Structures are given as C-alpha cells and as structure tokens.
C-alpha cells in the first residue's frame, strides 16, 4: 500500500482535475479585458479550461464552465496587493499565474486559412493536427463529430507552425503532431507530414499515433523524431473493445511491439510515453495498464477522463479526487520499481495530466 502524502498544491491540482474551478467576476473581467478576449477555446476536451502555473512548477488546466464544475472547491480570484491572481483551496491561498491563450487566434496564413484550424498552443507546446475529424470513433472523443474527415495540406501545417513559433504571448518551444487518426489510405500522407515537419524545424517534434503495422517507428527515428506517444488509453480489454474498438483491433500486443521498438530506437528516458485514461475502467485495470507500460520502459501518462460535449459519455462525471489520488500514488510505486517516470517529462505539459515534477532532475522545461 502506498504511504506518500500529497502536498496542498498537489491536492489543489487534483481537485481542479476532478471538479474544476470557480472564477470570480472580478478575475473574469480582468482576464477577458472586460469581455474582449475569450477565457478559453473549447477545441479539445482536456484543454477547455484556464491553465494555471502554481508554485513549484505545478501546471493545471482547470475547467470552469462544464456541467461538472457546479461545486468546485478551488476559486480563482484577483490578488490586489500583487496585481495578479490567487487560488483558494481549503482555507489556504496560493499565488497563481494564468497562462494566456495564443495571440494568433484570428491570424490567417498566406491562403487566408485560420492558423488555429491546424495548430493550437498549450503552455509551451504547439499541437499540429494534420487530420480534421478522425477515421476512428472512440466513444469518449469528439474529434470524429466535430469535423468531416479531411487531410490538411502540408504547406498549411508548416505555415501554421511558423505562426505559432512567432507568437509573443505563448511561443512554442516544442511540437506535437497529433489530432485525428488517418485512414490506411492516408498513412503515406501522414508520414510525409511527419518527415517534412521534423525536417523544417529545429524544435523537438513528438508524434502521437497508434502503432500501426509496418516500419513507421523506425522511419520516424531515422527522420529525427524526438519522441513517441503510443497511447493504449484503456487496459481492460472488454471496456476497450466497447469504447475504442478500432484502436484495440490488434490487441495490446501491437502496442507492446511498437513501444518496445520505440524505446530501443530512442533509449527511453521519457521519449516514449503512453496515455492511460483514468476513470473509465476499474482502478485495478488502470494500474495494470501502468504496470504493462512501465515494464516496457515506457512512461505512463495518467490522463483523467473529462467528458466531451456531444459524445455518448458526455454525462459521465470525471473521476473523484480520492480516486485520482489513489491512482497517482500507487502508480508512483509502479514506475519507481521499473525505473521510469509518470509522463510527460515536460513540466508545462503536465497541465492536463496527473503528473507532478519532483527533485530527480528527470522533469524539465522544453
């Protein structure tokens, strides 16, 4: 049984991930410049909140306008003495920096296309989305219902990345190629995207993908990819077959094969990670998934479930704070045994994951 105790700030973050945050009218007025700028862009379920930086390198994306945020324990206020902001939780108050949205929300590229159709910055990372929509239909994800499946031109992606890199409000320090999963006919297209993006920027580029058949892991390594995100999402096979049927069509053996090869090509050290959703399967299954990944030399990433609007799970509440605390602490014991870490290693990218920096030196700012 675990014996570690969480700090008040760690408990605060977990509370935000579970039940959100309340923003006082005064803080909202200041943050929105009197209603002139949005508080959030709801372009993805786990990023549709305000992102806060707290003492000790704690980042959290805190939802505030979802149905499950009706009784939050955390409150964001203005802090008049400092002219900044503070968060209040269980009779304590902590200074907070509210990260801005990127400054390119209305910026268009040379062809008149909105940059945010293709790129979105979160903390210090720019996420490129080559595919609008998705060829898969995972039950908790709204990608397939938000847009018609369409591969985007490579030149659009490169222009969007250049815009994100030049942004003065939230400059990109590294890149994640993610978004919808391509159909098999578009695998060559996505490979071309990855190769050209990697070769056209000096920033580190990670690729989030399912480990499809073939030698794509090796080709990405040859092109100079920095890291892989090969996410199993769910460990329980029965639940996975129901909620992520296309991703689980080859079973976990395909993931193990891809992850092992990626670790071999990169040396591990946090450059191979796999997201595990917390709150959609029994805790024992989630922890078994953490064990499965850690044994492979892969960093498990604990991602608390957050219901997405328009999906069949939109009325399912996020996991409780007690459940998140248990999963986090027991997962720490697992990764410690196997010599890996809870991912991601980039500290600002912790904002929507159940991860905290420690004093090991393994976590960093990109």
pLDDT tens per residue across span 322-352: 999 999 999 999 999 999 999 999 999 999 9
Is residue 229 domain-shared with residue 262, that is, in the same domain?
yes
With respect to residue 107, please indicate whether it lies within any of the assigned structural domains. Answer: no
Q: Where are the alpha helices (DSSP H) in the chain?
A: 8-19, 25-31, 143-146, 154-165, 187-199, 216-223, 237-243, 251-266, 283-295, 321-338
Q: Is 270 helix (H, G, I), strand (E, B) or coil?
A: coil
Is residue 26 domain-shared with residue 127, that is, in the same domain?
no
Is residue 246 domain-shared with residue 343, that is, in the same domain?
yes
pLDDT at 1: 40
The domain boundary residue, chosen from 63, 98, 133: 98
Please give the residue range of the domain that contains residue 71.
Answer: 8-98
Quickly list DSSP for 337-355: HHT--SS-SBSGGGGGSS-
In degrees and rounded to multiples of 5, residue 272 shows phi and psi of -130, 125
pLDDT at 249: 85
Other beta carbons within 10 Å of 71: 8
Strand partners, 300: 274
pLDDT at 4: 76
> In the Cβ-directed half-sphere of 328, how many Cα atoms lie within 13 Å?
24
Kind of pairing between the strands at 74-79 and 119-122: unpaired
With respect to residue 317, please indicate whether it lies within any of the assigned structural domains. Answer: yes
Q: Residues 279, 321: contact at Cβ < 8 Å?
A: no
**Residue 108: exposed, middle, or buried by beta-carbon count in 10 A (0-12, 13-18, 19+)?**
middle
Mean pLDDT of 190-213: 95
149 contact partners, CB below 8 Å, separation of at least 6: 131, 132, 133, 134, 135, 180, 183
Percent of the chain with pLDDT over 90: 92
Residue 87: closest CA among 99, 102, 100, 98: 98
Question: pTM value?
Answer: 0.96
Is residue 238 domain-shared with residue 313, that is, in the same domain?
yes
pLDDT tens per residue across span 112-162: 999 999 999 999 999 999 999 999 999 999 999 989 999 999 999 999 999
Is residue 87 domain-shared with residue 138, that is, in the same domain?
no
Confidence check: pLDDT of 2 > 50: no
Is residue 150 domain-shared with residue 252, that is, in the same domain?
yes
Which tokens hold the place of 278?
A: 């917390």
Strand partners, 88: 75, 93
């Amino acid at each position: 049984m675990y014996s570690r105790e969480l700090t008040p700030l760690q408990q605060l973050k977990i509370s935000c991930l579970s039940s959100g945050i309340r923003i006082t009218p005064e803080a909202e007025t200041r943050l929105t410049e009197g209603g002139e700028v949005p508080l959030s862009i709801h372009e993805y379920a786990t990023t549709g909140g305000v992102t806060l930086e707290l003492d000790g390198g704690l980042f959290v994306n805190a939802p505030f306008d979802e149905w499950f945020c009706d009784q939050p324990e955390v409150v964001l206020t203005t802090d008049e003495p400092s002219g900044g902001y503070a968060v209040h939780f269980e009779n304590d108050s902590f200074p907070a920096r509210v990260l801005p949205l990127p400054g390119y929300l209305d910026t268009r590229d040379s062809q008149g296309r909105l940059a945010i159709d293709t790129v979105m910055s979160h903390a210090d990372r720019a996420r490129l989305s080559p595919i609008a929509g998705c060829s898969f239909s995972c039950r908790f994800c709204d990608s397939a219902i938000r847009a018609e499946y369409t591969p985007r031109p490579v030149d659009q992606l490169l222009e969007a990345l250049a815009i994100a890199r030049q942004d003065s409000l939230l400059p990109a320090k590294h890149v994640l190629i993610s978004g919808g999963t391509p159909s098999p006919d578009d695998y060559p297209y996505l490979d071309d995207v990855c190769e050209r993006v990697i070769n056209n920027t000096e920033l580190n580029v990670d690729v989030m993908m399912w480990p499809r058949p073939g030698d794509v892991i090796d080709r990405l390594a040859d092109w100079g990819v920095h890291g892989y995100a090969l996410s199993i999402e769910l460990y329980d096979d029965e639940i996975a077959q129901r909620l992520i049927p296309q991703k689980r069509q080859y079973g976990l053996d395909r993931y193990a094969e891809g992850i092992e090869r990626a670790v071999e090509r990169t040396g591990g050290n946090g450059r191979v990670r796999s997201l595990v959703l917390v709150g959609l399967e029994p805790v024992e299954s989630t922890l078994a998934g953490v064990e499965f990944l850690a044994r492979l030399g892969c960093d498990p990433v604990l991602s608390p479930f957050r219901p997405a609007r328009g999906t069949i799970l939109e009325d399912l509440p996020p996991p409780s704070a007690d459940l998140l605390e248990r999963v986090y602490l027991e997962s720490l014991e697992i990764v410690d045994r196997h010599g890996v870490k809870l991912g991601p290693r980039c500290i600002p990218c912790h904002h929507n994951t159940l991860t905290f920096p420690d004093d090991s030196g393994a976590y960093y700012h990109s």
